[in-house]
Structure formats: structure tokens, C-alpha cells
Structure 1
Amino acid sequence: MKSIDFLPSDYDSHGRLRLPVLFLGILLLQARTWVLFVMAGASRQQGDTLLNLFYPDHNNFWLGLLPGIPAVIAFLLSGRRHQFPRVWQGIRWLLIIAQLALLLWQPLLWWQGDALSGIGLTLVILDGFALWWLLSSHRLRACFAANGTF
């Protein structure tokens, strides 16, 4: 049974609630190191320069891949979430934990001596917004519910 909290256009042809578009943006934000890794691999000559620009310390690059793993899994499962309902329900909490880790990681880097930059400050603001949205979005919570409705 569909919830009256959502418009009929919010459901797909199978009666499942569609994922919000902002959710895909949040996944890209969380998987930003993975996106950079793919871009660096695609641009063969400038790949190393690109990685050194964003991650001068290569250890931070490898650590940056870890919080993006739940986002990559969520992206891959999003089209088949009805086939893996238990896994899909757990992904939401993994995304929240990963987002919290990303939110705390940048200030930790500043505390360890990294320079305060506009890009880092923007990422902290976006990470804070993403965490708030992951926790408070009714529609997203309903998308992760067992039957696709809240």
C-alpha cells in the first residue's frame, strides 16, 4: 500500500518509491575519491598530476577510498534494491557512518597541520549538509524501508 505522504509521481511503474535525485549527489560526494581515481585513470598523462593536486599525501588517498565504499555499493545496488532488501536496509546506516567519518576527517587533517583551504571548507559544509539530509529525509528513509514505503 502506498503512503499518502508522497505524490503518485514519486513511485515507479512497479509501485516502489523512487530514489531522490539528491541521493545520487550525496553518493557522488561520498565517493569523491573514487571519482577522482576514475578520472585520473581516464586521463593517462595527467592522472598523476591530478592525484597529486588533490592528495599530495598518497596515504590520504588510500584512506579516502574507504568511506566511498558504501556509496559505491549503494550506487550499484540502487537499481536492484528490491532483490537485496536486507542489504539495502543496512546500506543507509553505512552511508550515515561514512558521511560522519568524512565530516570529521577534514577538520582532523587541519588539526594535524594541513592548510585551511576553500575546497576543504566547502567539503566540510557539503558533508555536514549531506549528513543532515541522510538523517532527516522522510522520502529517503522510506526508500530504505523494507517494502519501499514508510
Structure 2
Amino acid sequence: MKSKYTQVTPDDYDAAGRLRLPVLFWGVLLLQARTWVLFIMAGASRQQGDTLLTLFYPDHQAFWGGLLMGLPALAGFFLCSWRQHFLRLWHHAYWVLLVAQVVIMCQTARHFFQDDASSLVSLLFCVADSVALFWWVTNPRLRRCFFAPME
């Protein structure tokens, strides 16, 4: 008996004939690039931008590390629309994004456990990173999107 996740219907393909990426894929990329999202939000709200950055990143080194760890996710956003042209790079992007998720999860857990006054936001990010990693590793449709041959 086949799992419902391995069955692919014609509706799962876009107009170019590529398998559509799961909706949760975009959520995982946003989760990985959360520091960049926060940076853009802080830039958009000029008056509260510094307060917003200090709330989430009281340590400036953690902020710069978060920006660095979000770079693979940003590259993944841009590569998605060009995946048929850069097929080899697209295949490697799966593993790069997986490693980035592991590092981000470990970094978030380290910050959560090192804080004396661990916040609810840190706990939520820890849980969200763990769930995202589990989904990334166990979702067969996502693997098919990265490794299925494209014409």
C-alpha cells in the first residue's frame, strides 16, 4: 500500500512540468531566514527597528550569525525559480539547506539553554526548528522535488 505522500497527481505539476514545491517548504525557508525577515521588518519600521532587533537579538554577535545562517535560505528562494537551469546546484541545495537547518536548530537550542531567563519565543523557535528538520528529512515529496529528473 502506497502512502498518500508518495502519490503524485497531474495537479501537483506546474505549467512548466516541474513538481510543485510543498507549501511547508516555503515556511521552512522563512524559518531559516527569520533573521533576514526581522532585519527587513526593523528597516521598514524606523522608529521601533532598534527596539525590535534588541528584543530578539540582545547579543549583536547572534544577530550577525543569524544573518549568516539565513544566506542558504535566501539562495534557496532565488534558486527555486531557476531550478531547471541549474539542476546540479538544485540537487546540492537540498543538502545545503538540510545542514543549515541542523546548524540553526543547534544554535537556537544553545541560545535557549544558555539564557538564564529563557523566553517563550526562544522555546517556540526551538520547537519550530525541530519540527522543520523532522519534516525536511521525512517528506518524500520534498525529496522528489529536489531529485526527480527534469526535462
Please say whether Structure 1 and Structure 2 have the same fold, judged by a TM-score greater than 0.5. Answer: yes
Distance 1:113 1:102 in 2: 17
- Residue 51 (structure 1) aligns with: 53
Deviations 1:47-94 (A, max 9, x none): 111111111111110011122111100001111111111111111111
Q: CA RMSD in A?
A: 1.6
1:13 aligns with one of 15, 19, 34: 15
**SS of the residue aligned with 1:17?**
coil
Distance 2:80 2:28 in 1: 13
C-alpha contact 1:28 1:71 (8 A) present in aligned 2: yes
Specify every segment of 5 or more residues in structure 2 that has no aligned partner in the other structure, as ranges: 1-5
Compared with structure 1, are the counterparts of its residues 146 and 10 closer, same or farther at alpha carbon in structure 2 (3 Å cutoff)?
A: closer
Deviations 1:93-121 (A, max 9, x none): 11111111111112212343442221111
The alpha carbon displacement at 1:122 in A equals 0.9
**SS of the residue aligned with 1:144?**
helix
- Residue 38 (structure 1) aligns with: 40
**SS of the residue aligned with 2:81?**
helix
Q: Indicate the larger mover: 89-98 or 111-120.
A: 111-120
- Residue 28 (structure 2) aligns with: 26
Letter in 2 for 1:72: L
- Residue 61 (structure 1) aligns with: 63
Distance 2:7 2:62 in 1: 42
TM-score by length of 1: 0.91
Compared with structure 1, are the counterparts of its residues 110 and 21 closer, same or farther at alpha carbon in structure 2 (3 Å cutoff)?
A: closer
1:72 aligns with one of 29, 54, 74: 74
Compared with structure 1, are the counterparts of its residues 148 and 19 closer, same or farther at alpha carbon in structure 2 (3 Å cutoff)?
A: farther
Distance 1:69 1:15 in 2: 28
**SS of the residue aligned with 1:83?**
coil
Q: Percent identity?
A: 53
Distance 2:47 2:79 in 1: 33
